[in-house]
């Protein structure tokens, strides 16, 4: 569990981060969203003390980070950044093994861990172990960057716009894989992004930052349906709101008994996928794999919960 208490950073008299408090439960993903200059990256960098707070505390499982030497603290926390920051002069294996080596792991243990991670990220160890970073594609570099951050089995992983340099198709896949791996490992993850879509897709909770202040910290559905300030509402985007909301719920959750024509959609597909399918094929309902259907009426109700509450 990560507890951030009254964290503040002042640069030249201006607060880059202003009295922010929030808690991330173990195994959860918190997405920090905001425009550039909102202080989200500074907040993230104070957690592993790349930036020293002016005041306030960060507790990891109750332990104050100020009591740990910065470089030792950082070896316990995974850190992945935009454009990956791989060491260009080290092979993929050596890059991934950086922190285990710093921690004094045995060479064979490091080797085994590197192969394990490469497998996890769907990179064939035999083919990729000895490659140099510049011989990889952008998506592969990004995966190696995240693998490196996870190498020493950190309980906490910090990510700063990790998918920022990827093209949209690869990005969606990378987000999906990250979510799977995070669930599998049970790592607590704090992620900085300026992309609300990404925050909604990945975050268990979203923290919206504006001018250094935390303006809302809530589950995605709440941020979408009950934005705390006009700023949050603008960030969510009026036009996008219903679709984002639909993307939060899997089809299986609202499927009810019934009969519909056509090919079924997977149970894990989101309601947004179900809507797209309905519109594209001109149907009023689509079947869901394993039984049940999702109707346009049900989709309409899910997409506008505020309208429903007002009735």
Partner 1 sequence: MTGRLLLAAALLFLLAFLASPHSFAGLFQPLIRPNQPAIYTQTPLWSLTLSHLTLVALAVSASTLVALILAVLVTRPAGREFLPLARTITAVGQTLPPVAVLALAVPVMGFGAGPTLVALFLYGLLPVFENALAGLTRQPAQVAEAARGMGLTARQRLWQVDLPLALPVILTGMRLTAVISLGTATIGSTVAARTLGEVIIAGLLSSNTAFVLQGGMVVGIIAILIHQTFQTLERMAARRIGLG
Site size with partner 1, rule: CB under 8 A: 29
Q: Which stretch binds partner 1 (CB under 8 A): 94-102, 115-123, 202-210, 296-304?
A: 94-102
- Single residue of 85, 250, 264, 305 touching partner 1 by CB under 8 A: 85
Taking phi first (over 0 means left), then psi (-120 to 50 degrees means alpha), and beta for anything else, what does residue 136 get? beta
User: Nearer to partner 1 by C-beta: 84 or 272?
Assistant: 84
Kindly tell me the burial class for residue 185, based on how many C-beta atoms sit within 10 Å of its own C-beta (0-12, 13-18, 19 or more). Answer: middle
CB of 82 to partner 1, least distance (A): 7
Contacting residues for 159 by C-beta, under 8 A, at least 6 apart: 79, 80, 81, 146, 149, 189, 190, 191, 192
Residue 239 in 3-state DSSP? Answer: coil
Residues 158-187 that bind partner 1 (CB under 8 A): 158
Residue 51 interacting with partner 1 (CB under 8 A) = no
Residues 191-250 that bind partner 1 (CB under 8 A): none
Question: What is the maximum span of the chain, computed from C-alpha positions, in angstroms?
Answer: 65
Residue 268's closest CA among 257, 280, 253?
253
For residue 261, what are its two tokens?
A: 């024509």
Residue 186's closest CA among 204, 174, 171, 198?
204
Q: Is the dihedral angle over the CA atoms 208, 276, 180, 293 positive or is it negative?
A: positive
User: Nearer to partner 1 by C-beta: 47 or 251?
Assistant: 47
Q: Which stretch binds partner 1 (CB under 8 A): 59-67, 132-140, 232-240, 289-297?
A: 132-140
| Alpha-carbon distance values, 151 to 39, 133, 270, 271 (Å) | 28, 17, 32, 35
User: Nearer to partner 1 by C-beta: 79 or 217?
Assistant: 79
User: Nearer to partner 1 by C-beta: 145 or 220?
Assistant: 145
Bridge partner residues of 64 (DSSP): 59
CB of 117 to partner 1, least distance (A): 15
Residue 43 interacting with partner 1 (CB under 8 A) = no
CB of 301 to partner 1, least distance (A): 45
Q: Which stretch binds partner 1 (CB under 8 A): 143-151, 177-185, 241-249, 252-260?
A: 143-151
- Single residue of 5, 15, 27, 83 touching partner 1 by CB under 8 A: 83
User: Nearer to partner 1 by C-beta: 102 or 276?
Assistant: 102
- Single residue of 18, 39, 42, 79 touching partner 1 by CB under 8 A: 79
Residue 50 interacting with partner 1 (CB under 8 A) = yes
d(CA 159, CA 75): 15
For residue 172, what are its two tokens?
A: 């969606």
How many other C-beta atoms are found inside a 10 Å radius of the C-beta of residue 172?
Answer: 15
Name the residues that contact partner 1, by CB under 8 A. 48, 50, 70-76, 79, 81-89, 98-99, 102, 132-134, 145, 148-149, 158
């Amino acid at each position: 569990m990560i507890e951030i208490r009254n964290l503040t950073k002042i640069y030249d008299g201006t607060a880059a981060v202003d009295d922010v408090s929030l808690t991330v439960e173990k195994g959860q993903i918190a997405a920090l969203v905001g425009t550039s200059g909102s202080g989200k990256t500074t907040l993230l960098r104070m957690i592993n003390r790349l930036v020293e707070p002016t005041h306030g505390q960060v507790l990891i499982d109750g332990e104050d980070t100020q009591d740990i030497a910065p470089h030792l603290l950082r070896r316990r926390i995974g850190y992945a950044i935009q454009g990956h920051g791989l060491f260009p002069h080290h092979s993929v294996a050596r890059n991934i093994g950086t922190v285990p080596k710093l921690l004094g792991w045995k060479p064979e243990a490091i080797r085994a861990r590197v192969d394990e991670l490469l497998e996890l990220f769907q990179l064939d160890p035999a083919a990729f172990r000895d490659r140099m970073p510049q011989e990889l594609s952008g998506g592969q570099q990004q995966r190696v960057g995240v693998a490196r951050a996870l190498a020493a089995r950190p309980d906490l992983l910090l990510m700063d716009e990790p998918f920022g340099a990827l093209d949209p198709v690869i990005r969606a896949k990378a987000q999906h894989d990250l979510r799977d791996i995070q669930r599998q490992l049970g790592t607590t993850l704090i992620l900085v992004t300026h992309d609300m879509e990404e925050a909604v897709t990945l975050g268990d909770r979203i923290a919206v930052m504006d001018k250094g202040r935390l303006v809302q910290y809530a589950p995605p559905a709440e941020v979408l349906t009950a934005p705390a300030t006009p700023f949050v509402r603008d960030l969510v985007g009026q036009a996008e709101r219903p679709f984002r909301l639909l993307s939060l719920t899997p089809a299986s959750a609202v499927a009810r008994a019934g009969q519909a024509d056509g090919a079924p959609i997977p149970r894990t597909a989101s309601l947004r996928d179900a809507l797209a399918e309905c519109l594209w094929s001109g149907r009023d309902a689509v079947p869901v794999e394993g039984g049940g259907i999702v109707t346009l009426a049900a989709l309409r109700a899910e997409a506008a919960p505020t309208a429903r509450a007002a009735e």
